[in-house]
Chain A
């Protein structure tokens, strides 16, 4: 959960994806393998080497109008092929707040 916005060297520890926030409304988005963005994690392109990651990030960052703050984040790929967030930060971004908003 160390802010990935401080990432300088691109080094991935496992399957990863590129994520950002949509410029006009701030919604969480994931880079697909179709040079586009999706708000659905299951559409995310999965990269498995540092070179692939760098390439995907470079392409994502080039879309300065559509997305802001793009970075590489870990994912978990299940046996079924389902893509899940790879750490707590991405779980929160994907699933929302971990708290009840009303007193309980």
Chain B
């Protein structure tokens, strides 16, 4: 957990004062909407169908229990009692009033939470692995670097008006849980052949209308140089990224149009000038940031405590444990995922009551810390194994123990047309129906790991391109239709899915997904061949046949 000091808090408060003044000037008419829109976006305030939406930053997905309670407070006091966790580890409130936003921000500022740059053409949340700091085999905690980059890019005078938004993700594990290959800059922390820790830097990933997998621009940048190198990339982008067409303004387009070699050369040219400058990260500076991250004082605990042995006879507990509990890098502890995908529920939502309850559970069982994953679930990262049975009972009582993590009903979905003014079609009711169709845990377990991603429009906030099954809402003659893709992946083997055929109407989507799953079950080589591997082996044809035979 990173502890904000006086300086960090002062900055947040100064930002709140500034926004309060900006809102005042907007409501008095001194600022037109055209002048104000970008300012409110820079504080995470969107206009949606029914109301404003307020996107609060959860830097690299880490929250203290105190902070989670503050989010619950905002949900109650300023919204309709719930919030939605997003694919970038942030939280969104859907019914906020502009006039009350400065107060909401002031309340959040008291616990070191802000909404700086959660929208706008600037650096967004620098996301990371929700298991950062506790994942076995991790090189080092990537969040230290997320924080270094967060500070450097917050209210950066040169890069607050980029051609378009900019998203960075960092991973420090072999298995990429941060989806770095679909980000504008992806950073992979690793140890090179000489034993030095540094970064593989990838650039130009992104989804939306023109999806691209990020390309390696430099295979190794030292920790000392990473900040100046990122600055060089941003400066090249700020100057040469397209500004004539918002659909061609992301860095992925610039990289594509120049080619990665030419782009790399431009960056190298710029970097030569700033490589040894104030941006060089001396060890003492890195240590200063690292020292502000606190880690739990873990107890020395046994690998298999009695409490766990006793609880093993309970099939419901066991089903949950086998599904939602993951290995921790400290013996006797576990990483616990809390499913925000209950049967029939909107994926990724939590009520204020649930948030408060999770905060209490975090205090009791997780050293006061919670994580938010880009799959729109929560994590308690430091749970002693002996506490698992008690924790499970408590989670089950508040509806956060659905044992469906990584399974077919653990769906990632954008808010869609129910909320979002950019959407062509609804996504949440599709997700809800799918969780009902696949509510049976034995069936879901038999199907195995299967990621469904739903986006209500081509902006792809649901990351449908990289879903094992991707569902994209489109509009045809005023009706909602959905294109289905299969075989996408978001991890270290990232790739885009393949369209299986013509778009299908709203009422058919759940049936189509069931047909695809049935096809997989019939075609898989072995029970443990994952859906996405069956698709890789056989291609989309057998699935297409099955789905469109009677349609």
**Structural contact, B345 and A64, CB atoms closer than 8 A:** no
**Structural contact, B98 and A23, CB atoms closer than 8 A:** yes
Distance of A30 Cα from B88 Cα, bound (Å): 34
Number of chain A interface residues as a range: 20 to 34
> Is B544 an interface position by the 8 A CB rule?
no
> Is B49 an interface position by the 8 A CB rule?
yes
Most buried by A among B49, B51, B424: B49
Residues of A within 8 A of B419 (CB): 97
Distance of A65 Cα from B98 Cα, bound (Å): 13
| Residue in A3, A87, A101 whose CB lies within 8 Å of B421 | A3
Within A70-92, which residues are at the interface with B (CB < 8 Å)?
A: 87-89, 92
**Structural contact, A69 and B29, CB atoms closer than 8 A:** no
Most buried by B among A27, A68, A89, A103: A103
Distance of A56 Cα from B418 Cα, bound (Å): 27
Distance of A21 Cα from B28 Cα, bound (Å): 17
Within A7-43, which residues are at the interface with B (CB < 8 Å)?
A: 21, 23-28
Residues of B within 8 A of A104 (CB): 344-345, 432
Residues of B in contact (CB 8 Å), total: 40
Q: Contacts A1-B423, A92-B417 hold; do A26 and B51 have CB atoms under 8 A apart? A: yes
Within B26-79, which residues are at the interface with A (CB < 8 Å)?
A: 26-29, 32-33, 47-52
> Is B426 an interface position by the 8 A CB rule?
yes
Q: Contacts A26-B47, A101-B82 hold; do A2 and B475 have CB atoms under 8 A apart? A: yes
> Between A and B, how many residue pairs show CB distances below 8 Å?
91
Distance of A98 Cα from B360 Cα, bound (Å): 32
Residues of B within 8 A of A27 (CB): 50-51
**Structural contact, A99 and B432, CB atoms closer than 8 A:** yes
Distance of A103 Cα from B401 Cα, bound (Å): 13
Task: Determine the residue in chain B with the shortest Cβ distance to A74.
Answer: B478
| Residue in A2, A5, A64, A99 whose CB lies within 8 Å of B29 | A64
Q: How far is the CB of A19 from chain B (nearest CB, A)?
A: 10
Q: Contacts A93-B49, A93-B50 hold; do A65 and B29 have CB atoms under 8 A apart? A: yes
> Is B211 an interface position by the 8 A CB rule?
no
Residues of A within 8 A of B191 (CB): none
Distance of A100 Cα from B345 Cα, bound (Å): 7
Distance of A25 Cα from B78 Cα, bound (Å): 11
Most buried by B among A24, A26, A89, A98: A26
Residues of A within 8 A of B399 (CB): 103
**Structural contact, A25 and B97, CB atoms closer than 8 A:** yes
Distance of A69 Cα from B429 Cα, bound (Å): 27
Task: Determine the residue in chain B with the shortest Cβ distance to A21.
Answer: B47
**Structural contact, A26 and B96, CB atoms closer than 8 A:** yes
Task: Determine the residue in chain B with the shortest Cβ distance to A87.
Answer: B478
| Residue in B51, B97, B429 whose CB lies within 8 Å of A99 | B429
Q: Contacts A21-B47, A92-B417 hold; do A98 and B344 have CB atoms under 8 A apart? A: no
The 22 sampled A-B contact pairs (Cβ below 8 Å) are: A1-B417, A1-B423, A1-B424, A1-B425, A1-B480, A2-B424, A3-B422, A24-B27, A26-B47, A26-B48, A26-B50, A26-B52, A27-B51, A64-B32, A65-B28, A92-B49, A92-B50, A97-B419, A98-B418, A101-B349, A102-B345, A104-B432
